[in-house]
Structure 1
Amino acid sequence: MIRTMLFDLGNVMIRFSHEKMFDQVGALCGASGDEASRWFLESPLPGQFERGQVGGGEIHRWIEGMADRRLKREEVKLAISDIFWAVSRMEAIAGHIKQAGLRLVLLSNTCAWHVDFIRERFDVLAPFDDLVLSYEVGAAKPESRIYEVALERIGCVPGECFFVDDKQENIDAACRHGLDAELFTDADAFLQHLAARGLSVGSAPD
């Protein structure tokens, strides 16, 4: 029996676009989105920011270095963070699951700026009983450490926790830690996964 739902955030509970981020950062720096994409791919700083190993100040200075001019911290933060849009159907489904009495925990690779932005503009985090965030844990999926923290937070044995994520390597890691897990593709498939586990929460409107 499922007692806890463990959700990924990006492209499960909320959509995002890296391409939009690259375009916005590039425009801020007088460069193309492709150039900005290369900066993010070639630098260790974004991954370190996601693991809480560097702060927003380092990211701000790094982007200023790419622009070769002074930039306001808030405009850098906005260019990096204004990349999300809500998945209203999944928010409704999460609400139904919560009403059914299950514990909801979020397990996400993310950075402090992104969580700030989401909290300010969306309600997607409201139903969750706990948040396991890479920048707070100091590790990111599929690394073992972040799953070990999640296992401490789920409030049940691993086999009673159902996890969904949009990346197969994260699902594989979850299964190695004893969690029941499925790759997330869309809301309909997710509802089918729940039904197969004896949990019906309704179709939820589009």
Structure 2
Amino acid sequence: MLAKAIFLDIGGIVLEINWRKTVEALGVFDRSQQDQIWSVLGSAKIHLELERGNATPQEFFAFVRSELKLSPEAPLEEAWNQLILGPLPQVDQIFDRYAGRVPLYALSNTNRPHYDYFMKQFPVMKRFDRILTSFELGHRKPDSEIYMAAATEVGLSPSEIVFIDDSPANVDAAGRLGFRSFHSVNSVSATLEILQRHFSN
């Protein structure tokens, strides 16, 4: 069966992400302290629920302010968005080569503040045919439900979709469901090599 669509993760595939930039924007520069903060924030239940659309940004930011003992004036949403550095170098090559020829979708664990930020700041994000987000689908990778919901949304079976993600766990989960699933991290050339094996130039 021929592949008919492309699913790309956003962070590490299209945009460069560095969570330390958020912690630095909050005034913390000691790396061990940064690790401690992110181990709390990154794995907090409310963060995961924010990405599933089950918690509001206001609830999440209130949790962060309380957990880190931040003042009400701290620019928390601005700091939260600082982890999104911008498009990977040459990432437009993916869209130049495949946009208009193969449906290009994003499938991402993300949240409303990050979504609003990258859609406003980075024009490359508007080159996707559609962006499928965890907070809209109600599940997050590597939950099996998000992959199947995304495939249903675009009207294709998993075996017809080439999926590329920077997380081995996400890649493995998609592969078990029948997606043509591949790993790439911060490398447009590696992503292009994968796509070239499935789609003609």
Q: Same fold (TM over 0.5)?
A: yes
The 2-side partners of 1:69 and 1:17 are apart by 24
2:21 corresponds in structure 1 to 20
Question: Which aligned pairs between 1:25-40 and structure 2 lie closer than 5 A?
Answer: 25-27=26-28, 33-40=34-41
The 1-side partners of 2:65 and 2:38 are apart by 15
Structure 1 spans left out of the alignment, 5+ residues: 201-206
Give RMSD over aligned pairs: 1.9
The 2-side partners of 1:41 and 1:9 are apart by 17
Tell me by how many angstroms 1:190 deviates. 2.1
Tell me by how many angstroms 1:42 deviates. 5.9
Cα distance, 1:127–1:35 mapped onto 2, change above 3 Å: same
Cα distance, 1:8–1:38 mapped onto 2, change above 3 Å: closer
Query: 2:148, 2:158 within 8 Å by CA — same for their partners in 1?
Result: no
Structure 2 spans left out of the alignment, 5+ residues: none
Cα distance, 1:142–1:39 mapped onto 2, change above 3 Å: closer
The 2-side partners of 1:165 and 1:42 are apart by 19
2:145 corresponds in structure 1 to 145
User: Which stretch of structure 1 is more off in the superposition, 89-98 or 137-146?
Assistant: 89-98
How many pairs were matched up?
193
The 1-side partners of 2:102 and 2:77 are apart by 35
Cα distance, 1:41–1:107 mapped onto 2, change above 3 Å: closer
The 2-side partners of 1:139 and 1:56 are apart by 17
2:179 corresponds in structure 1 to 179
The 2-side partners of 1:38 and 1:194 are apart by 34
2:195 corresponds in structure 1 to 194
Question: Which aligned pairs between 1:41-80 and structure 2 lie closer than 5 A?
Answer: 41=42, 43-65=44-66, 66-71=68-73, 75-80=75-80
Tell me by how many angstroms 1:39 deviates. 3.3
Report Cα offsets for 1:22-61 as digits up to 9, x if no partner.
222355xxxx534532431463221121111111111222
1:9 corresponds in structure 2 to 10
Give the TM-score normalised by the residue count of structure 1: 0.84
Question: Which aligned pairs between 1:84-103 and structure 2 lie closer than 5 A?
Answer: 84=84, 85-99=86-100, 101-103=101-103
- Kindly, what percent of the aligned residue pairs are identical? 24
